[in-house]
Amino acid sequence: MGSSQRRTRGAHSRGITLAELVQISGQSAGPVVGIDLGTTNSLIAYMQGSTPTVIPGEDGSPIVPSVVAFDQETQDGFSVGNAARGVLLTNSANAVYSVKRLMGRDLTDIESELKLFPFHLAEDLKPGEVLKLNVGGLTLTPPEISAYVLLQLKRNAERFFGAPVTKAVITVPAYFNDAQRQATKDAGRIAGLEVLRLVNEPTAAALAYGLDQNKDGVIAVYDFGGGTFDISILKLHEGIFEVIATGGDTHLGGDDIDNLLTAVAIDDIRGDLGVDVTTHPELVQSLRKAVIDAKIALSSGDSTRLQLDLGEGKHYLREITREQFEQLVAPILERTAAPVRQALRDAGLKPEQIDEVVMVGGSTRIPAVRTLVSKIFDLEARGRKLHTELNPDEVVALGAAVQAQILSGEENAATNDLLLLDVTPLSLGIEALGGVMSRIIQRNSTIPASATEHFTTGVDGQTNVAIHVLQGERELAKDCRSLARFDLKGIPPMMAGLPRIEVKLLIDANGILQVSAREQRSGMESQVEVKPTYGLTDEQVETMILDSFDNAEEDLTARQVIEAKNEGNTILEAVEKGTKSQAWQLLTGDEHEAIHAAVTELKASLLGGDYRVIRKAIDTLDQKTRRFAEIMMDTAVSGALSGKTMAAAGEAIGGTLGDAPTAPHPFAAAEFDESKNPDVIEKAEADPETPGESTED
């Protein structure tokens, strides 16, 4: 598990680590399973013939609570599931729950929640670092804690099959960012599992649904779980499951309802009985359990009692009606509506065009949730009902089992004709000159996906190029999320516009990004795999798309100004260089005067911020320099042909003229140590015989 662990009791005091437990469990090949690693509960499933089936645990229940406790009374020094829940109530400092909310996050992301968690952070933790928790005498990261849950699921499956299990498909929220996805894969590796694929939870639910229902149509999957919310719009046709839009909030779920009700009860107890429950961690956990039981009871009943023995003869009792409950949680439920409406807009659909709505996640059992969703999609007026026939707790694991069967390569009539097409939730691109975002892979593109674009340099003799990879929907780089930076070095010095730099973005089936850059004439190449950045908040991911709409007009104007100024400066530099050539001497005095006047006009326009004025000045200068450009071209060609063979003349012309950049998205200046000129690359002008500048692989 790592040197940071402190083995202080139980099995850990005997020196048995999680890694050693994995080693003991065996590593030979076995069945491929599907795992729903949930915030509140986790499940593991497999394909039994043509039917996906969940695997029961030691207690006979297929649901394993996502709670891990460290207890010297157990054989291994730790327990997972219901046994760990008992430790949470009696010795809360030794237990962890809802760790999925901490995956791929850092200190600044969770400060508001720390007061409700019984566990403590490591003392030497710094902002930007992966979280470390002090639990039961150990210092563990969220992926390490999740690995204990996965190991328990793995053991359940191995007990069920009587054979080792080493390969799995694990589900994640559709809106998990790269850090959260990588953390999930890390947890699988720590638990001794080869993670064949990370599948978005709503997509997994659609797999299970499509398999059972065997029908075509447009389906919305509303996934409201313990810690995350996802909405996905899918098209199902002849076995092809295509995600056409996705959205959500990776920090919104049933836990938020539990935390709200717990906070209300804590205030009640403090005000009515004068007891500060927050100073007694075990009481907080007992209260939280009582709140969860009350929430569950109100899904089927009109009222329930919330009660807790506070000790010393004090007892808290409160009657709660479903109406009161729904009023309290209404703001939380309403937060799911905006991503749903945005997903519909992204898909280009109206609510009445959705054929079916599938409900996933334990929180969808709440009647107010079902009422809200039915209203959003106008189901009652259309004589339709929500799909709740599949167990909302199990459907994601069942879908993961279907995907696991597909990836296993084994023949199965139920999955042979199935195909899963997932999407990337945010656009990917590169920072361009002036700080604008040049998109290469668009939001909601089907993954796996790759796209290639060609760029060139903007400065003579440029040898280095810096690539800044971005994610987001805004027009300016500063408003998008920075994913990675890397340099393409060693480009042979050439005239500006001559190098052809191929930039390729590749997203694999897990949503992990790789970026490469190659100068095609010299063969110089550089690449990077985007590493997780734990400092991103989920709120930033959720609002990226909404911000892009709120600021669309302002962003577009800023981009147009930047691009117009870039083009204007490029033309001014070309004219300045041309005045020193022989062609300049062949122009008349009137032509000189007209060009100088147009240059002055363009320079003046660049001092302002109106892109239309700049464009007008560029057009004027372009008209005044057309004969000048023709003379320069004739002079260059004549010089190249003089005394040379046709082959040699072709090389000379290429070296003299290059491929002048005219595209509107030049790259930003490169970062380098030794050069007098800033390294700039510009998007290359498309070959007239090759339409388009981007190649979709």
Task: List, by residue number, the catalytic residues.
Answer: 36, 100, 201, 223
Other C-beta atoms lying within 10 Å of the C-beta of residue 218: 16
The tokens describing 631, both together, are: 């003379």
Here the contacts of 231-235 (C-beta below 8 Å, separation 24 or greater) are: 231/202, 231/336, 231/339, 231/340, 231/343, 232/174, 232/200, 232/202, 232/203, 232/206, 232/343, 233/343, 233/344, 233/346, 233/347, 233/349, 233/354, 234/202, 234/203, 234/206
Task: Round to whole Å and give the CA distance between 167 and 30.
Answer: 7
Q: How far apart are the first and last CA of the chain?
A: 40
Q: Residue 318: exposed, middle, or buried by beta-carbon count in 10 A (0-12, 13-18, 19+)?
A: middle
Task: Round to whole Å and give the CA distance between 500 and 385.
Answer: 56
Distances (CA, A) of 37 to 98, 349, 619, 666, 667: 11, 31, 59, 43, 41
Q: Residue 72: exposed, middle, or buried by beta-carbon count in 10 A (0-12, 13-18, 19+)?
A: middle
Distances (CA, A) of 563 to 290, 430, 470, 575, 682: 60, 15, 18, 19, 11
H/E run at residue 635: helix 626-641
Using the Cα atoms of residue 206, residue 211, residue 212 and residue 217 in order, give the sign of their dihedral.
positive
DSSP for 347-364, written as a single string = HT--GGG--EEEEESGGG
Distances (CA, A) of 219 to 235, 318, 545, 660: 6, 41, 22, 48
H/E run at residue 449: strand 449-457
Q: Residue 442: exposed, middle, or buried by beta-carbon count in 10 A (0-12, 13-18, 19+)?
A: middle
